[in-house]
Amino acid sequence: MDRTDPQKARMYDFRTYVGVRIMKAFLDEGYRLPSAAEKMAGVLNDMNVFRDFVQQAFRGIDLVDGKPAVNMGPFDADGKKTLYGINDDGKIRYDVRDKQPRMGEQ
């Protein structure tokens, strides 16, 4: 995406935007520029690891006990059990059980 108008210098990709916002938060907390840059790099690295994990593990949203649950894929080698992440009124818990129906399939 290229801009030719006077605002061209203000065009950033999302990764740059996120990095700047993270660095600003560290600067606002009182970190000096070199430390803020180092901490920002660590946060961005953690975000990349997390994104890769979710992209590989996420299998959709299923219903567990009538509630939406994040299907994180097979839990055992033969694929008979599935790992679910469930938000019970703000408390995250994990459950291993037989594959449950997809949301909207009941």
Asked if 50 and 14 sit in the same domain, the reply is: yes
CA 87, 89, 92, 97 torsion-angle sign:
negative
Asked if 48 and 64 sit in the same domain, the reply is: no
Which one has a higher pLDDT value, 10 or 20?
Answer: 20
Asked if 27 and 49 sit in the same domain, the reply is: yes
Asked if 44 and 75 sit in the same domain, the reply is: no
33 occurs within a structural domain: yes
- pLDDT tens, position by position, 36-70: 999 999 999 999 999 999 999 999 999 888 889 99
Asked if 12 and 31 sit in the same domain, the reply is: yes
Q: Which domain holds residue 73?
A: 58-95
- pLDDT tens, position by position, 61-95: 998 888 899 999 999 988 889 999 999 888 999 99
52 occurs within a structural domain: yes
100 occurs within a structural domain: no
21 occurs within a structural domain: yes
State the pLDDT confidence band at 105, using cuts at 50, 70 and 90. low
> What global pTM score does this model have?
0.68
91 occurs within a structural domain: yes
The predicted pLDDT at position 102 comes to 74
State the pLDDT confidence band at 17, using cuts at 50, 70 and 90. very high
Which one has a higher pLDDT value, 9 or 30?
Answer: 30
**Could you give the CA distance from residue 43 to residue 17 in angstroms, rounded to a whole number?**
14
What amino acid is encoded at 59 in this protein?
R
2 occurs within a structural domain: no
Query: Mean pLDDT, to the nearest integer, of 92-102?
Result: 86
The predicted pLDDT at position 21 comes to 96
1 occurs within a structural domain: no
The domain total for the chain is 2
Q: 14-28 vs 33-57: helix axis angle to the nearest 10?
A: 130
